[in-house]
Structure 1
Amino acid sequence: MPPLPRLPLIGNTLVVNEDSCNLGCAYCLTGRNNLTRGQALASVLDPPERDRYTPSSGLGRRIDRIAGRLRGHFDLPLLKVTGGEAFLVRGIMDFLEEQSAYHEVLVIQTNGVLISEEQLARLRSWGNAVLQISLDSHLHPGNSYRVRSRLLHRTVVEAVTRMLDSGLPVEVHCVLNDRSVVELDEFAAWLAGFATPPTLFPFPVRGTGSGPFKVRPEQVRHIEELAGRHRRYRHILPPLPYFDRLLDFCRRGGRAFRCHLPRLVVSTFSDGVITPCPNIWFTDVGNALARDADRSLAGLGTSGLYRELLAPSPRVDACHDCFTPWDTLSLYFEDEITLDQLCAAPTYAPPRVRELIRAAKATYRRGAGE
């Protein structure tokens, strides 16, 4: 069997200090965080252990080199920075500002608690920053797997409200679990009330320890009800086929459809590790800080692992349990949504991102991507 062709990558998801977070989501994929039941609100707003970014710090030298190496090798227009919680890193705004100048779009995933008004103004001044906010509900019961304390939840919602009022493009990532799903319609109504409403992406809780948190069969109706109100909320929701796939996933108890994400986006970590999928961190395909990094990058997409990840139906166990906001890319590749519908989300709106996605699909359709 011939090797797969060179990947038409559009972006890199850079995970900074994935085990460093100021919240304690019960279903966290890393299984590690800084917040325990006994910690006070002060620990969340000013955590005791915070890394520092400067061009000469250990972290700074690493992530500058990682981002630069990926950008230089693939000429990527999109960089997503996530964690952990990226704003735990002192000086991270300097790194983000530098990277914004190198990319058409800079996506920052955050819980928002540590972002100040001054930082929001600075982000806005760059003209290409997109915020992806992690929030399961504006009401405490639905968000209580993220934050156990009602007082802390109030602080989180106040921070999110600042971001939604900031004028920055915002996507809200809502993890659907047995608590948040019952508040889904109320959450959508709350978000729709903002002057510049965000895009809401609900997606199922996942991971090996997610069983106790999963949406129960009798609760799927709440997703069905929101899908039924799509016309009312269409200005804040992904296209309706996204909900068709989401409901299929929930009813089956897993994924049965193809994923195209690994052909478009790669993931890197602040220790240099490269993984072939931003959603699944189960294996690495090299290290961006290693001497042979260029060889590893040149080989992305050519291994048997990519055949498994890009198969017509899921072959890897972790893939069966995975459905995320990235799935709009797969919907476009499978002709279930249009390019205009895909690029209505701010992450994909920049012209060069849009054109690269269009060209990647054309190549795939010609048979080179099979």
Structure 2
Amino acid sequence: MIPISLMVRGFGSVSFRIKGKEKSKFSSRERPVIAWNITGMCNVRCKHCYISAPMNKELDKETALRLIEEMGEIRIPLVILTGGEPFLRKDLLEIVEKLREKDVKVAISTNGTLINEEIAGKLANKVEYVGVSLDSSNEDWHDEFRGVKGAFREALKGIRNLISAGIPTGLRMTLTRLNVDSVPSYIDLALSLGVSRVVFYHLSATGRAKELADWYMTKDQYFRFMDYIIEIAKTVDMEIETTMAPFDGIYVAYKIAKDKQEFRKLLNFVRSDGIVSIYPDGEVHPNQFMDFISLGNVRKEKLSEILGRGFHVELNGPKCSKCPFKSWCNGGDRARAFYFSGIDGDDPQCFLDVETIGNLLYDRGEE
């Protein structure tokens, strides 16, 4: 995550609630944030679904409870329950309760369509945050992208139910060349709903998204988007973040830093906390989108053993390998690189002039 609002003016809402305001590291390779896809079942059919849901797989209850015990022992700081659609798992609320008993913070990532007043009430004071996927301020566009008519209206109902229950709630928008220019109206919708946060996901290339090769933002669209959210983050009391594009943080630092010292300080926001993903079948991946790399399977091994292996890619692409910021950015989204040029290649969505921006480092090429 690149915390645009935090970088621009030190503003945080959800991030402060989850991580606190201290600068100590929230997570690490040994105790990462975990995105746990607790089910492969889903009630929508998104064009870009990274696990190609529905997939008829999920950990049985006994294995899930054992995994939660292990998470508590490792002192995992945060688990993001996702899917598929997590609210289709019948024991979701029990999983939330068991995680809380182990002092693990819980967030939920959902399409929002199944959250009625009763469910929202049961979640109150039990989760740190719920992120709801909404990919446009235009109802028809969202429904087409999500593959189900009426998904937009049901998601809005879910959002309002969550906010009424006092649960910190945010929106998650996947950016494509077909919807990125509507971001200003999307921000207006977010403000009217009263959400705490908006996270913009750069389109990755895993699952069904492999079929969307011509949906990526153009260079001009990218810079218009970035310049807009930098400016809007200066004025709105709503947290704005981006993800799946750590180079966004380099650009933000370049645009707002007053001098080299401030620029280097802002680069600290680019380095990400540790995160791994557990898929419905128990496979552990370096993140939600790197389905082509398995670190192990929680059905067969202890989570602590799997996390101890770690993961690293040596960047060999013509741009990433020579980039002065590669130790901060780590080459952007390795899933996009993998499907377009190879695991060690360049991320095709990085449009930065790193040679020019690199002049703000004290020593050119410093890592």
Q: TM-score, normalised by structure 2?
A: 0.65
* Residue 83 (structure 2) pairs with residue 62 (structure 1): no
- 3-state SS of 1:154 partner: helix
Write the distance in 2 (CA, Å) between the matches of 1:232 and 1:247.
21
Asked if the contact 2:31/2:77 (under 8 Å) is kept, the reply is no
Q: Taking every aligned residue pair, what percent have the same amino acid on both sides?
A: 17
Per-residue Cα deviation, 1:44-75 (whole angstroms, up to 9, x for no partner) = xxxxx8x99xxxxx721122122322332x21
- 3-state SS of 1:297 partner: helix
- 3-state SS of 1:232 partner: coil
Asked if the contact 1:22/1:85 (under 8 Å) is kept, the reply is yes
Asked if the contact 1:27/1:145 (under 8 Å) is kept, the reply is no
Number of residue pairs matched by the alignment:
281
* Residue 289 (structure 2) pairs with residue 289 (structure 1): no
**RMSD across aligned C-alpha pairs, in angstroms?**
3.6
Shift in alpha-carbon separation, 1:120–1:99, aligned structure 2, 3 A: same
Shift in alpha-carbon separation, 1:244–1:15, aligned structure 2, 3 A: closer
1:92-103 aligned within 5 A: 92-103=92-103
Write the distance in 2 (CA, Å) between the matches of 1:206 and 1:151.
25
Q: Which amino acid aligns with 1:165?
A: S
CA drift at 1:144: 3.9
Per-residue Cα deviation, 1:190-223 (whole angstroms, up to 9, x for no partner) = 211345x321111211113331322234433244
CA drift at 1:83: 0.6
Q: Which amino acid aligns with 2:290?
A: I
Q: Which residue among 23, 33, 42 is the counterpart of 2:54? A: 33
Shift in alpha-carbon separation, 1:59–1:82, aligned structure 2, 3 A: same
Write the distance in 2 (CA, Å) between the matches of 1:145 and 1:103.
39
Asked if the contact 1:12/1:70 (under 8 Å) is kept, the reply is no
CA drift at 1:295: 7.0
2:275 alignment counterpart: 265
Asked if the contact 2:38/2:83 (under 8 Å) is kept, the reply is yes
1:339 alignment counterpart: none
Write the distance in 1 (CA, Å) between the matches of 2:303 and 2:250.
41
1:226 alignment counterpart: 229
Q: Which amino acid aligns with 2:81?
A: V
2:83 alignment counterpart: 83
Shift in alpha-carbon separation, 1:191–1:60, aligned structure 2, 3 A: same
Write the distance in 1 (CA, Å) between the matches of 2:66 and 2:183.
41
Write the distance in 1 (CA, Å) between the matches of 2:246 and 2:141.
20
1:202-281 aligned within 5 A: 202-207=200-205, 208-220=210-222, 221-238=224-241, 245=248, 260-261=271-272, 264-281=274-291
* Residue 111 (structure 2) pairs with residue 111 (structure 1): yes
Shift in alpha-carbon separation, 1:64–1:218, aligned structure 2, 3 A: same
CA drift at 1:122: 1.3
Write the distance in 1 (CA, Å) between the matches of 2:122 and 2:97.
9
Write the distance in 2 (CA, Å) between the matches of 1:297 and 1:243.
25
- 3-state SS of 1:193 partner: helix
Shift in alpha-carbon separation, 1:260–1:63, aligned structure 2, 3 A: farther
Shift in alpha-carbon separation, 1:152–1:288, aligned structure 2, 3 A: closer
- 3-state SS of 1:63 partner: helix
* Residue 48 (structure 2) pairs with residue 16 (structure 1): no
Asked if the contact 2:47/2:147 (under 8 Å) is kept, the reply is no
* Residue 315 (structure 2) pairs with residue 314 (structure 1): no
- 3-state SS of 1:226 partner: helix
Q: Which amino acid aligns with 1:15?
A: N
CA drift at 1:288: 1.7
CA drift at 1:227: 2.8
Q: Which amino acid aligns with 1:124?
A: A
Asked if the contact 1:142/1:181 (under 8 Å) is kept, the reply is no
CA drift at 1:85: 0.5
Asked if the contact 2:83/2:280 (under 8 Å) is kept, the reply is no
CA drift at 1:167: 1.5
Write the distance in 1 (CA, Å) between the matches of 2:304 and 2:160.
45
Q: Which residue among 29, 48, 57 is the counterpart of 1:7? A: 29
User: Which ranges in structure 1 are unaligned for 5 or more consecutive residues?
Assistant: 1-5, 35-48, 53-57, 250-256, 324-369
2:150 alignment counterpart: 151
Q: Which amino acid aligns with 1:225?
A: Y
Write the distance in 2 (CA, Å) between the matches of 1:270 and 1:175.
22
Shift in alpha-carbon separation, 1:87–1:299, aligned structure 2, 3 A: same
CA drift at 1:148: 4.5
Per-residue Cα deviation, 1:282-338 (whole angstroms, up to 9, x for no partner) = 211122221x4367336332xxx4254996242953475499xxxxxxxxxxxxxxx
Shift in alpha-carbon separation, 1:174–1:322, aligned structure 2, 3 A: farther
- 3-state SS of 2:227 partner: helix
Write the distance in 2 (CA, Å) between the matches of 1:184 and 1:247.
21
When structure 1 is superposed on structure 2, of 305-314 and 265-274 the one drifting more is 305-314
Write the distance in 2 (CA, Å) between the matches of 1:322 and 1:288.
33
Write the distance in 2 (CA, Å) between the matches of 1:210 and 1:234.
34
Write the distance in 2 (CA, Å) between the matches of 1:167 and 1:14.
24
Q: Which amino acid aligns with 1:216?
A: T
